[in-house]
């Protein structure tokens, strides 16, 4: 059982040289960091929405890698490996990390269609950083690049993820909802259903499921938090292509309620 948080990603970095190198490159790349900063200027500063910046990137990266490993432990084969677009599991994990970290950079241009814009913005960045992460990658960098671009694009609410890697990224995006970090953009300082439901959620945990490989457990102090699950997390699970592998439970006080499937 792990709590979805900005520090979760380090649990995975410590076990992988390639992920550790990739994360270091992302965290120190001027263009990446300025795009994420600009994404938050757009989301928080101009639209008065909740956070879509560096903390969100780190949270989604950790949650996506955790979900990916849970599915691996259930003998579910990564799509990129099955189709030969990566050469091993470490490269499959790299696709997950890169997509999760970069998935919101399109907000630096506009909130509207930010998933498509983000995938396009990521193209040149990935061409530049993938050889730095894998010096021997050669022409395979283009396959890895396209897998990452697909996963970024597939975080759009109505777009079906076509790979396991994209699926865990889109679900992870929906798990960043604790302590007011809801993925429904809500107006800061405005008391409405979006805001009330957002502040109702206290933590999100990932653990092995009872009837499915992965269980997402959402702890809340008020049932208003169900709005976030119904409006964001469940739709993302349904477009992830991984819905049969996921359970969602709500914990409120002494009550535990299964809400998906």
Q: Could you list the pLDDT tens digit for every one of the 261 residues in the chain?
A: 899 999 999 999 999 999 999 999 999 999 999 999 999 999 888 887 777 899 999 999 999 999 999 999 999 999 999 999 999 999 999 999 999 999 999 999 999 999 999 999 999 999 999 999 999 999 999 999 999 999 999 999 999 999 999 999 999 999 998 876 755 555 555 566 666 777 889 999 999 998 999 999 999 998 888 988 998 899 999 999 999 999 999 999 889 999 999
Beta strands 214-220 and 246-252, pairing class: parallel
- Lookup: tokens for 6: 């900005």
Beta strands 255-260 and 201-208, pairing class: unpaired
- Residue-range domain boundaries for the chain: 2-260
Look at residue 171 and give its three-state secondary structure.
helix
Per-residue DSSP letter, 110? -
Residue 134: what pLDDT?
97
CA distance 75 to 81: 13
Residue 75: what pLDDT?
97
The candidate with the shortest Cα–Cα distance to 196, out of 185, 184, 178, 180, is 180
Q: In what order do the strands lie in the sheet with 201-208?
A: 2-3, 201-208, 214-220, 246-252, 255-260
Residue 130: what pLDDT?
98
Whether the CB-CB separation of 57 and 104 falls below 8 Å is answered with yes
The DSSP bridge partners found for residue 216 are: 206, 248
CA distance 85 to 96: 13
The phi-psi region of residue 199 (left if phi > 0; otherwise alpha if psi is between -120 and 50; otherwise beta) is alpha
Whether the CB-CB separation of 245 and 213 falls below 8 Å is answered with yes
Look at residue 159 and give its three-state secondary structure.
coil
């Amino acid at each position: 059982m792990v709590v979805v948080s900005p520090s979760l990603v380090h649990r995975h970095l410590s076990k992988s040289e390639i992920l550790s190198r990739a994360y270091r490159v992302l965290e120190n790349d001027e263009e990446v960091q300025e795009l994420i900063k600009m994404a938050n200027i757009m989301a928080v500063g101009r639209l008065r929405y909740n956070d879509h910046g560096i903390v969100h990137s780190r949270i989604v990266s950790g949650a996506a890698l955790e979900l990916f490993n849970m599915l691996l432990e259930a003998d579910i084969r990564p799509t990129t490996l099955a189709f030969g677009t990566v050469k091993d599991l470490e490269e499959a994990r790299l696709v997950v990390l890169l997509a999760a970290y970069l998935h919101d950079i399109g907000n630096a241009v506009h909130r509207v269609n930010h998933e498509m814009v983000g995938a396009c913005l990521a193209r040149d960045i990935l061409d530049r950083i993938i050889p730095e992460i894998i010096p021997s990658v050669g022409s395979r960098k283009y396959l890895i690049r396209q897998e990452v671009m697909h996963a970024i694009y597939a975080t759009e609410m109505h777009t079906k993820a076509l790979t396991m890697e994209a699926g865990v990224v889109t679900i992870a995006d929906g798990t960043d909802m604790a302590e007011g970090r809801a993925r429904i953009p809500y107006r800061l300082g405005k008391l409405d259903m979006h805001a009330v439901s957002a502040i109702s959620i206290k933590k999100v945990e990932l653990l092995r499921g009872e009837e499915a490989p992965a269980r997402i457990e959402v702890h809340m102090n008020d049932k208003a938090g169900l709005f976030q699950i119904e409006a964001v997390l469940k739709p993302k699970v349904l477009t992830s292509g991984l819905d049969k592998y996921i359970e969602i439970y709500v914990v409120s006080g002494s009550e535990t309620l299964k809400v998906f499937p």
